[in-house]
């Protein structure tokens, strides 16, 4: 039996932060050799909120470079750009036509983002999860490694696939494969540095709320120095009254590679004045190799382009075959 297939992606909106890394990309890297992987930069998703056309292409390349810098290797993985494969948009249309609008109106992320946009919510924002379903279903993905916030979108993807299979397929040979989310226990929900009860997010207006993968050491030091803590002496995981404490200890655990038990015994008696410099040093050391590799890759555009060209070729063949299967099941005529 061949390897199971993985599909995942990140939007090229701004800088990647520790939430994106610890919730998603690091898990892709850690388990990449168990699977056959398709990692895309989802630039079509990035325009579901107002975007800057002068930076979109460069931001897209930067995310692809970060995938490589974080340790994605090309022996089991393909890296490509979503908008380079038109099957993503085309399957989205087909799926739109069988997706009830109230499924989309109920999505937590839509409701949160829609509130921020006020009256002016674009149709694309509502349709965002259908495009994500198309991304996943085109590749017959078995597993989708993501952070906790994407779980509902993967459940929706399964519901859409079930509906297509039910309406247009037969039970012995389903048209689309049902994917499973792959969500790690720690790191699945990294919280803001300024509020331990809200998620670390690219859209938080405060830069102080997140550590970006490309932040220089002095920025990391400043953000950790000023981050929110509490007046309690001693540090502990899992105390619901101390969300910042749990979040910062978890960051230290994941960035140092130590076990939770080791961190609890190392830091249990520490005060913030002792812990913050330790976390700072650990974060800087963990991000340095990624930053160095990122700079090398960005200085060789031809290499990055060749990776993306090869990735697109491999991905497109699979995507087009799935699209043909769906169109044929839905009864479309063949192009002449």
Chain residues that interact with ligand TYM, rule: CB under 6 A: 7-11, 19-20, 23-24, 42, 45, 132, 135-136, 144, 146-147, 149-150, 153, 188-190, 199-200
Q: Which residues of 223-246 are buried (b: 16+ CB within 10 A; e: fewer)?
A: bbeebbbeeeeebebeeeebbbbb
The alpha carbon of 40 is separated from its chain's Cα centroid by a whole number of angstroms, namely: 10
DSSP structural state of residue 48: T
Which of 31, 266 has the CB closer to ligand TYM? 31
Q: Select which of 113, 177, 258, 260 is catalytic.
A: 113
Q: Select which of 3, 111, 116, 202 is catalytic.
A: 202
Which of 206, 328 has the CB closer to ligand TYM? 206
Per-residue tokens: 228: 């929110």
- Determine the Cα–Cα distance for residues 177 and 196; give it in Å rounded to an integer: 37
Indicate if 293 belongs to the active site: no
Per-residue tokens: 186: 């720690």
Which of 27, 229 has the CB closer to ligand TYM? 27
**Cα-trace Rg, the chain:** 21
Indicate if 202 belongs to the active site: yes
Query: Minimum distance from CB of 135 to ligand TYM (Å)?
Result: 4
Dihedral angle sign, alpha carbons of residues 228, 229, 235, 236: negative
The DSSP H or E segment spanning 175 is none
Indicate if 225 belongs to the active site: no
- Determine the Cα–Cα distance for residues 173 and 176; give it in Å rounded to an integer: 9
Which of 42, 283 has the CB closer to ligand TYM? 42
- Determine the Cα–Cα distance for residues 218 and 290; give it in Å rounded to an integer: 16
Query: Minimum distance from CB of 171 to ligand TYM (Å)?
Result: 26
Query: Minimum distance from CB of 133 to ligand TYM (Å)?
Result: 8
- Determine the Cα–Cα distance for residues 285 and 208; give it in Å rounded to an integer: 20
Task: Answer whether 38's CB lies under 8 Å from 315's CB.
Answer: yes
Task: Answer whether 246's CB lies under 8 Å from 229's CB.
Answer: no
Q: Select which of 143, 199, 223, 276 is catalytic.
A: 199
Which of 92, 282 has the CB closer to ligand TYM? 92
Catalytic residues: 113, 199, 202
């Amino acid at each position: 039996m061949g390897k199971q297939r993985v599909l995942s992606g990140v939007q090229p909106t701004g800088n990647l932060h520790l939430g994106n890394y610890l919730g998603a990309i690091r898990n892709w890297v850690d388990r990449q050799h168990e699977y056959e992987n398709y990692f895309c930069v989802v630039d079509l998703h990035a325009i579901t909120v107002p975007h800057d056309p002068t930076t979109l292409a460069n931001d897209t390349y930067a995310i692809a470079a970060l995938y490589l810098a974080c340790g994605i290797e090309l022996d089991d993985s393909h890296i490509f750009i979503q908008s380079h494969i038109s099957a993503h948009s085309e399957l989205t249309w087909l799926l739109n036509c069988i997706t009830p609008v109230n499924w989309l109106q109920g999505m937590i992320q839509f409701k949160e983002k829609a509130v921020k946009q006020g009256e002016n919510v674009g149709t694309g924002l509502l349709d965002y999860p259908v495009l994500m379903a198309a991304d996943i279903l085109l590749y017959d993905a078995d597993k989708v490694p993501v952070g906790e916030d994407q779980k509902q979108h993967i459940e929706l993807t399964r519901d859409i696939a079930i509906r297509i299979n039910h309406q247009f397929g037969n039970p012995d040979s389903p048209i689309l494969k049902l994917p499973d989310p792959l969500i790690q226990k720690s790191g699945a929900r990294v919280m803001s540095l300024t509020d331990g009860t809200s998620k670390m997010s690219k859209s938080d207006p405060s830069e102080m709320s997140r550590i970006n993968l490309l932040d220089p050491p002095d920025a990391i030091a400043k953000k950790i120095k000023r981050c929110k803590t509490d007046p309690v002496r001693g540090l502990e995981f899992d105390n619901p009254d101390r969300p910042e404490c749990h979040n910062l200890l978890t960051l230290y655990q994941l960035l140092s590679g130590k076990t939770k038990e080791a961190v609890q015994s190392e830091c249990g008696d520490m005060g913030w004045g002792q812990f913050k410099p330790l976390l700072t040093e650990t974060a800087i050391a963990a991000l340095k190799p990624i930053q160095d590799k990122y700079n090398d890759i960005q200085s060789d555009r031809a290499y990055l382009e060749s990776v993306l060209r090869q990735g697109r070729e491999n991905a497109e063949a699979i995507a087009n075959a799935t699209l043909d299967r769906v169109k044929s099941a839905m009864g479309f005529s063949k192009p002449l």
